[in-house]
Amino acid sequence: MKRVLVTGINSYIGSSFSEWVSKYQNSYSVEFISLKDSLWRGKSFNGYDVILHSAAIVHKKENDLSMYTEVNKNLTVELAQLAKQQGVSQFIFISTMGVYGTETGFITSKTEPLPKTPYAQSKLEAEKLLMQLENENFRVTILRPPLVYGHGCKGNYVKLSKMIKKVPIFPKVSNQRSMIYIDNLSEFLRIVIDGNIRGLLFPQNKHFVNTTVLASLISKQNNKKVLITSIFNSVILIGLKFSGSLRKVFGSFQYDLTLPGGPDTVVDGVVFQYETMDFEKSIEITERGKKIE
């Protein structure tokens, strides 16, 4: 049995992973720990195989780099050091696609990170320090997932969904974006843990997402009619040059599907097959909470 300790009592990714692996009876034991106070420093990590570190400061009104650095970098490294000292064999760190510092583009193995926000900067700094801790007995795994979505997930998907539900007209665009459904990410994590896989990994759905198609599916699941039109395309094209918010919605932002950990890639002899359902059904569950038979 794999014993996994998840940081962040209310972690969406951690809680979803725990629920996902609960169907594999006697294969995984998942526990949670809070890092909000100093009590965690007195906890023994002996006996745990994996620490899934998903706790972080993400979006705060204060743009204070020192606050992000203290939690997302310093605390992360301290946690990893203690885990290493006490015999934990794998440390999984949830980083972000934001380390590339852009809202658009095609990310390949040659794309250099250039974080712009304190959040992304602190995550990248943590990545570098974690890799220095690795040895044959302590494997470090870093994930840079794209936008994560699923029922109960907070963040940019929710903002987009709310907007789509309100507007009667939506632009017809031809963009493509990398995203990952939460069950796909949970299965991805299970594969990583089973294979004790290390390194920098890039999970994502098998197929890129078009924002117009996404808008249509969200509208359909909410029994709402929306008119899809190209009339706004010239305005959007201009707006993409000046607005980061527009780029996040209507621009193209993709990972190369052949990056390590991408769908059907092979890492350390392990095939990454973690697509759990097709995209339309994943949006159905995200919007309604369950499949409509």
* In contact, 115 and 102? CB cutoff 8 Å: no
Q: What is the count of structural domains for the chain?
A: 1
Residue 36 lies in a domain: yes
**119 given a catalytic annotation:** yes
CATH number, domain of 112, equals: 3.40.50.720
Residue 78 lies in a domain: yes
* In contact, 270 and 191? CB cutoff 8 Å: yes
Residue 17 lies in a domain: yes
Residue 55 lies in a domain: yes
Residue 170 lies in a domain: no
Which pLDDT band, with edges at 50, 70 and 90, does 292 fall under? very low
Residue 173 lies in a domain: no
The 10s digit of each residue's pLDDT in 209-265 is: 999 999 999 999 999 999 999 987 888 888 788 888 889 999 999 999 999 999 999
- What range does the domain containing 63 cover? 2-144
List, in order, residues 6 or more apart from 48 with CB less than 8 Å away. 3, 4, 5, 83, 88
Residue 252 lies in a domain: no
Percentage above 90 pLDDT, the chain: 82
The 10s digit of each residue's pLDDT in 191-214 is: 999 999 999 999 999 999 999 999
Report the run of H or E that residue 211 belongs to, with start and end.
Answer: helix 211-221
> Could you tell me the pTM of the whole model?
0.95
Residue 103 lies in a domain: yes
The tally of CA atoms less than 13 A away on the side-chain side of residue 235 is 7
The 10s digit of each residue's pLDDT in 27-59 is: 999 999 999 988 999 999 999 999 999 998 876
Catalytic residue among 28, 119, 149, 181: 119
